[in-house]
Amino acid sequence: MTTDTAQVKAALRRQRIETPSWAYGNSGTRFKVFAQRGVPRTPQEKIDDAAQVHRFTGVAPSVALHIPWDRVDDYAALAAYARDRGVRLGAINSNVFQDDDYMLGSVTNPDPAVRRKALDHLLECVDIMDLTGSDTLKLWFSDGTNYPGQDDIRARQDRLAEALAAVYERLGDGQRVLLEDKLFEPAFYAMDVPDWGTAYAHCVRLGPKAQVVVDTGHHAPGTNIEFIVAFLLREGKLGGFDFNSRFYADDDLMVGAADPFQLFRIMHEVVKAGGLDAGKNARSSVDGGVRAGPESPHGVAFMLDQCHNIEPKIPGQIRSVLNVQEATGKALLVDAAALRKAQDAGDVLGANAVFMDAYNTDVRPLLADLRADMGLDPDPIAAYHRSGYFEKITAERVGGQQAGWGA
């Protein structure tokens, strides 16, 4: 295990984790959304809550928007509002799944008018990027089919490619598009972007401004997600993560809750490839040396995508940020030289021991020291509860329509 704690702290200090606006509103499952006290009523109040997460963690300076859930009349003013509260607006997430018109798909719908409506929304999201200063557009499509023969599978891929090309052409300098996959739901016969390979193939065809986003809850049970991460890093096509946890399907629980070891394994691949820093997300070992692949100026985006149903919103986001930090800290402690030596010698147990030594290390004291160095409370959760912020918003946010899924 490496003992250079100064270097580990420096890397952790540079890490940035983006929280999603929708995690602060009422959200839950298909069966029930439990309303909570103090939930935001406006995009501005979501930003206020996101600013609290950054205040107590120091590493969550951006909040992603979801359109139309976060639609406002003046996006430049919304960006200024965020800056005044010490954060910024991050990725713009499109929504082409909640309108009745999208029952048979959005950009892959057999009806040209519906496809046009969906594409217009995606282009609107790029306009919003221009107004907010965002550099990332994130696309997830619920498009798919439920029955064999329902539609032409290849034709749907053609329609998808056509829409993606139009969006890609609209991107400005310094902007990128991230394409997300999902194995199933809401379509159960064939999703149109069912896996990382499909997303990767479309991104390769589009060009360097297109990358894959890996949602950790969107894969088949038993999938080796760190292999996907390693492959995409090698090709310079890992744009970022939608971090969450799942026990069965797309549970959208707090990241690291179900399988913290998996989160560590993922972060090991990111750290090894230099993915904590912009422009260094495409390096891999080849014949004992280092191979530089296509590099991105953005680096890997660590984004949370979670729906807190029974847990309080802000503490749930703080805990998720801490879980990512802990997994990253452990990954940074892997003794790379010792691991490589054991691997080259074919020492199976020795290599695994090096790996497990880092994972079994309690990095919470190190992170507490880091926060103290940054002028933060070593215990962000306790500091939040002492702040009185929850009592304040509970008293102030009475009346009006609470934010939630679809609002």
pLDDT of 283: 40
**Number of neighbours of residue 150 by Cβ within 10 angstroms:** 15
pLDDT of 405: 66
pLDDT of 287: 37
Q: How far apart are CA 171 and CA 367, in angstroms?
A: 38
To the question of pTM greater than 0.85 for the whole model, the response is yes
Task: For strands 144-145 and 190-191, give the pairing.
Answer: antiparallel
Q: How far apart are CA 295 and CA 273, in angstroms?
A: 11
User: What does the domain layout of the chain look like in residue ranges?
Assistant: 5-396
- Distance of CA 142 to CAs 102, 145, 204, 264, Å? 9, 10, 21, 29
- Record the tokens describing residue 381, joined without a space: 């959760």
pLDDT of 4: 85
Closest C-alpha to 40, from 53, 58, 57, 59? 53
Q: How far apart are CA 370 and CA 357, in angstroms?
A: 21
Residuewise pLDDT in 10s, the chain (407 residues): 766 899 999 999 999 999 999 999 998 887 888 999 999 999 999 999 999 999 999 999 999 999 999 999 999 999 999 999 999 999 999 999 999 999 999 999 999 999 999 999 999 999 999 999 999 999 999 999 999 999 999 999 999 999 999 999 999 999 999 999 999 999 999 999 999 999 999 999 999 999 999 999 999 999 999 999 999 999 999 999 999 999 999 999 999 999 999 999 999 999 999 998 754 444 444 333 333 344 455 789 999 999 999 999 999 999 999 999 999 999 999 999 999 999 999 999 999 999 999 999 999 999 999 999 999 999 999 999 999 999 999 999 998 888 876 65
pLDDT of 292: 39
pLDDT of 178: 98
CATH of domain 5-396: 3.20.20.150
8 Å CB contact between 154 and 162: no
